[in-house]
Structure 1
Amino acid sequence: MKLPKPRKRGSSYDITVTFQGKRYYCTRDTPKECEQWAALKLLELKSGKVQENLGVKQHYPFKQLFEQYYQEHGRDKKSKTWIYGQLKTFDDKFGTLAQMSIHEITPKHLTAWRNKRSTEVSPNTVLKELSLYSAIFSYAQKELFLIHDNPWMGISKPKKPKARNRRITDTEINLILSAFGYSEGKVLVLPQHYVAWAFLFALETAMRRGEILSIRREHVFEKHVHLPMTKNGDERDVPLTKKARELLKLIPLENEKIIPQSENAFRLMWERTKNKIGLSDLHFHDTRHEAITRLVNQQKLPVEILAKMTGHKTIKVLVNTYYNPDVGDIADMLD
């Protein structure tokens, strides 16, 4: 069978091979790498077909399936950075299970892995990882037709923990600003100033960290910020308070990207600094809880209007997860 020619796509190349009516695709840095992949893929497919006809299931390691899933699906998802991180640490996380054939992996194997993993990370992290690995096996089942059943569907999930109810005090805000060497109204000069600025901006807008990091100059308007892509896949316009508009004026005009740091650099700076001052239990996402609670308590925003601002499609999630008034706040409203 004649190999197809690689096609240039931006700074990389891609190639597609067809076998028995199915197409297989990959992207590589050079044409030669594409051709090598295509030759090996065709050899693998032909070998697998012969074995299948003889009733023999081809050895297909879990990690190899993950790599193929990433190349064909994972790299195009919004969470591609996180998925790539999972792939990089896969061997350490799964041990011998990483090289076990997907035909041999059973719910019993996965239950043992889940129990071990539950002693290492939070239930939320386990749930997030279970969702990814189950999707990978669904891909093998429904798109590659390598397996008949998804063993991840045969294990029980950890109980989802209660939503966080973490408020942020004025004292903690001052501690954060001081740790980053920043004070409100100050022009942004150093990288750490942008982290402190983003913290204040999040408290005013209830925007997620990733949303703030994605803002470009062209997205900023007089009274709102336009987000062309959000976590739920939709665009959103976020109205700005007077303080939020003042904060935006502090960003240097030459900044095409409002926050110049990469997501990883920003995250590391935030984590190291807040841990250093004894606020390890504070998550950046807690600013979203705090901002939403303040918008209700202080701005008296109706919940249906608030949902438009925050991007929540389900009012129940907004009210039960993100609105965290204390009993004193509610008593004040009654009066």
Structure 2
Amino acid sequence: MKLPKPIQRGSSWRITVTFDKKRYSVTKDTAKECELWAAHKLLELKTGKVDIEQGIKPSYPFKELCDKYYQEHGRHMRSARTINFKLKNLDRIAPNLLNKSIYDFKPADIAEWRNKRKKEVKVSTLRNEHAIYSAVFTYAMKELFLIESNVWHSVTMPSKEKSRNQRITDEQQEQLLKALSWNGTTTPENSRQYVAWAFLFALETAMRQGEILAMRRADIRDGFVHLPMTKNGETRNVPLSKEAKRLLALLANNNDELLPIDKDVCCATWVRAKKRAGLPGINFHDSRHEAITRMVKVRKLPVEVLAKITGHKTIGILINTYYNPDAQDLVEMFNDSES
């Protein structure tokens, strides 16, 4: 920016600078002093030094902080795909917070967002978004030292919804296989059939969808699958039943990649298949519930062994969320204990 010319007023000199539609002026003894003052003043205004010294912080839009968080931290996390989606879609998910400076956030702003969002999505989705945006502020507090506290922590979120207890019956299993055009006995040849294979393998092993898709031939050991990286960041060994071994034997043996499909293809294929099967309420992850429940019922596995197989660190979650026996199962187990 070009400096203005000082104007002589009697025995003194005066100079005026304009920044952001505001005028600042000073009177000095010489023209040179005016020019030095003007240069220094413009530098202060551009860097925000004056505002900071007066306790006024420059605007830092939430969107900019989210972008920085993802590039420096979020993209390295195992949940990067979800984090990226929630941050990239701020204009739709949190339009009232998108361009708001992080220094101007108030609990009322977040509560307003929560109340509106609660009418649009499930509680689990709302809680997930709150956790991600709160993590962004924690990053600004503990890594960038921009703020002293996390305002997201001051707003209460709705309680967790009741855990799913969806089971998958033999009939539903057959309906889904039919919708995926696979009979369970031939080598999979297309996306539908690979998704069907993954579904059956999940029912036998209680493995997560992502863990199955990430399997490599080198991970298949004598009697178990070695998972070098799981959701909780640790390795895990999953025993293979006879049925699981049979399914593995059906896969082509010509490369290290066992399933040539990614998560996006798998999810989209599954959604279409369950609609064709007339089972819109069945999620792929329900196979994990079903597999765990079957392991207890059929194999009588003690909970500490089951936790090692499924990778649960918290026994309570394993028992209360994923183990879903019906009344008849409980009656049979109760009677078996008396015999």
Question: Is the pair's TM-score, using the shorter chain for normalization, greater than 0.5?
Answer: yes
**2:272 equivalent to 1:272:** yes
Distance 1:48 1:281, change over 3 A: farther
Equivalent position of 2:301 in the other structure: 301
How far did 1:326 drift?
A: 0.9
How far did 1:149 drift?
A: 2.1
Map of 1:255-294 to 2, 5 A cutoff? 255-294=255-294
Distance 1:275 1:255, change over 3 A: farther
How far did 1:116 drift?
A: 1.1
How far did 1:277 drift?
A: 2.4
Kindly provide the CA deviation profile for residues 26-49 of structure 1, in whole angstroms up to 9, marking residues without a partner as x. xxxxxxxxxxxxxxxxx9xx8255
Question: SS at the partner of 2:146?
Answer: coil
**2:59 equivalent to 1:59:** yes
Kindly provide the CA deviation profile for residues 236-285 of structure 1, in whole angstroms up to 9, marking residues without a partner as x. 00001010011001110124221211111111111122123221111111
Residue type of the alignment partner of 2:131: S
Equivalent position of 1:148 in the other structure: 148
Q: Which has the higher mean CA deviation after the structures are superposed, 96-105 or 232-241? A: 96-105
Map of 1:1-335 to 2, 5 A cutoff? 47-49=47-49, 51-335=51-335
Equivalent position of 1:4 in the other structure: none
Residue type of the alignment partner of 2:161: P
CA contact (8 A) 2:227 2:237 kept: yes
Q: Which has the higher mean CA deviation after the structures are superposed, 152-161 or 92-101? A: 92-101
How far did 1:78 drift?
A: 0.4
Counterpart Cα distance in 1 of 2:253 and 2:205: 21
Counterpart Cα distance in 2 of 1:307 and 1:98: 41
Number of residue pairs the alignment of both structures matches:
292
Question: SS at the partner of 1:298?
Answer: helix
How far did 1:51 drift?
A: 3.6
Larger radius of gyration: 2
Distance 1:188 1:61, change over 3 A: same
Question: SS at the partner of 1:87?
Answer: helix
The structure 1 segments of at least 4 consecutive aligned residues displaced by more than 6 Å after TM superposition are none
CA contact (8 A) 2:96 2:113 kept: no
How far did 1:50 drift?
A: 5.3
Counterpart Cα distance in 1 of 2:277 and 2:77: 35
Kindly provide the CA deviation profile for residues 143-173 of structure 1, in whole angstroms up to 9, marking residues without a partner as x. 2121222110110011101111111011110
Residue type of the alignment partner of 1:163: S
Counterpart Cα distance in 1 of 2:202 and 2:235: 18
Kindly provide the CA deviation profile for residues 115-135 of structure 1, in whole angstroms up to 9, marking residues without a partner as x. 111111111111111111101
Counterpart Cα distance in 2 of 1:331 and 1:255: 47
Counterpart Cα distance in 1 of 2:101 and 2:313: 40
Residue type of the alignment partner of 2:100: M
Distance 1:61 1:89, change over 3 A: same
Q: Which runs of 5+ in 1 are unaligned?
A: 1-42
Equivalent position of 2:32 in the other structure: none
TM-score calculated relative to the size of structure 2: 0.83
Q: Which runs of 5+ in 2 are unaligned?
A: 1-42
